[in-house]
Amino acid sequence: MLNISVFANAAAASRFVASLVVNCVTNDPYAVLGVATGSTPSGVYRALTAHRRHFRHVTAFALDEYVGLPSGHPESFASVVDRDVTRALELSPDRVHVPNGLATDPENEASRYEELIRRCGGVDLQLLGMGRNGHIAFNEPGSAHDSRTRVVTLAEQTRLDNSRFFASLDEVPRFALTQGIGTILEARQLIVMAFGDAKAKAVAEAVCGPVSESSPASAVRRHSDVLLVLDLAAASLVESPE
Ligand code: GLP
């Protein structure tokens, strides 16, 4: 059962999601948080800075990482998570995990990461964004809904969308390490966020279309505890049930 909350704008939606995260980490100071990157969750992380005293013992897992970006590259998800989550919320760095995009054997790194999540007891609360093509993490359309952490080839649409963070399209990696959809669905609670007109089609397909591999985001409808948080623009193509 997909629960949907629609807000007037991304700022209001982000404050609401931040309040849910605060509830999670105040109820369990040792909570395991799944953290998304991209522009969507940035307002949530900013809102959480006022509550950073609650994050000292929290463990965080990033969803994904580009393969091959130089160490310390500002657009590597390791850098983004370090900036927007670890430092901003004062988590203990040794409790924050991001796939190693520079591993000599990326597939082996994928298996290591999958095992590490399992060893930490799994994710309590997973924050997710959604790509314009309906991807979640870097699971592109066509990804199996039982997929595990692995190396993926980025869709050209994704590279184009993410090129806004790079000096040029050529700089955007072609491969990434991503938690699989099956991995993500093992989190105990999912909060999926989508804001803006550009996500409206992907949201409508995920909510109103069939649960299918062509819409990775539709996979979340298989989860028993998932909340979809939208602004009016991203919800604009969702037909309200009769
Ligand atoms: C990125 C990330 C996803 C993110 C999506 C949307 O490539 N891999 O985790 O949800 O694309 O990004 P944004 O929030 O910037 O629209």
User: In which band, very low, low, confident or very high, does the pLDDT at 1 lie, cut at 50, 70 and 90?
Assistant: confident
What confidence tens digit (pLDDT) does each residue in 110-155 have?
Answer: 999 999 999 999 999 999 999 999 999 999 999 999 999 999 999 9
Q: Is there an atom of ligand 1 within 6 Å of 64 CB?
A: yes
Distance 140 CA to ligand 1 centre (A): 11
What is the pLDDT at residue 241?
A: 63
What confidence tens digit (pLDDT) does each residue in 45-102 have?
Answer: 999 999 999 999 999 999 999 999 999 999 999 999 999 999 999 999 999 999 999 9
What is the pLDDT at residue 83?
A: 98
State the residue for tokens 């950073």: 52
What is the pLDDT at residue 140?
A: 97
- d(CA 48, CA 55) in angstroms, rounded, equals 9
Q: For the whole model, what pTM was predicted?
A: 0.97
Out of 35, 133, 162, 228, give the residue to mutate to test ligand 1, the one with the largest number of ligand atoms within 8 Å of its CB. Answer: 162
State the residue for tokens 């930490």: 120
Residue nearest to atom 5 of ligand 1 (CA): 131
Position 240 pLDDT exceeds 90: no
Q: What is the mean pLDDT of residues 188-192?
A: 98
Residue 67: partners with Cβ closer than 8 Å, 6 or more residues away: 101, 106, 151, 173, 175, 176, 177
Distance 242 CA to ligand 1 centre (A): 32
Q: Which two tokens stand for residue 196?
A: 């803006």
Distance 16 CA to ligand 1 centre (A): 20
Active site residues: 64, 133, 135, 140
Distance 38 CA to ligand 1 centre (A): 4
DSSP string covering 9-30: SHHHHHHHHHHHHHHHHHH-TT
Q: Is there an atom of ligand 1 within 6 Å of 234 CB?
A: no
Atom of ligand 1 nearest to the CA of 128: 10
What is the pLDDT at residue 199?
A: 98
What is the pLDDT at residue 242?
A: 58
Q: Is there an atom of ligand 1 within 6 Å of 38 CB?
A: yes
Atom of ligand 1 nearest to the CA of 37: 9
